[in-house]
Amino acid sequence: MRPLIGVLFLLVLVSFVLSNREPVTVGFWPTDARWDMPLSVALLVAAAVALIVGAVMVWISEFRQRRRARHAEAAVRRLEAELQELQARLHSPPALPPKN
């Protein structure tokens, strides 16, 4: 199923690139830098930059949850070890009092 979705996406992408070959001038405001490129390339570059920025923002926002999960897992391991120790003590034979 995944290869089919990938092929469909690729066909749409190729169709988009071939349909939008008109040249546009792209510039960035605080600088005088300008580039002439096909409209499709300009839009694909803008989409790629937006995707990367969005992915970084999600990664940063998820950092706190990943840290909390690591601390919770460590606490669970510590509590399970303590539980096993207490169960071992509970099931061990009682110590005999010393003989005088």
Give the whole-angstrom CA distance, residue 95 versus residue 26. Answer: 84
Reported as a pLDDT band with limits 50, 70 and 90, residue 97 is: confident
For 48-88, the DSSP string reads: HHHHHHHHHHHHHHHHHHHHHHHHHHHHHHHHHHHHHHHHH
Per-residue pLDDT at 100:
64
Domain extents in the chain = 15-90
Average pLDDT, stretch 39-55? Answer: 91
Reported as a pLDDT band with limits 50, 70 and 90, residue 91 is: confident
Can you say whether the dihedral through the CA atoms of 62, 52, 9, 26 is positive or negative? Answer: positive
Q: Where are the beta strands (DSSP E) in 1-100?
A: 23-27, 34-38
Compute the mean pLDDT over every residue in the chain, rounded to the nearest whole number.
89
Per-residue pLDDT at 98:
73
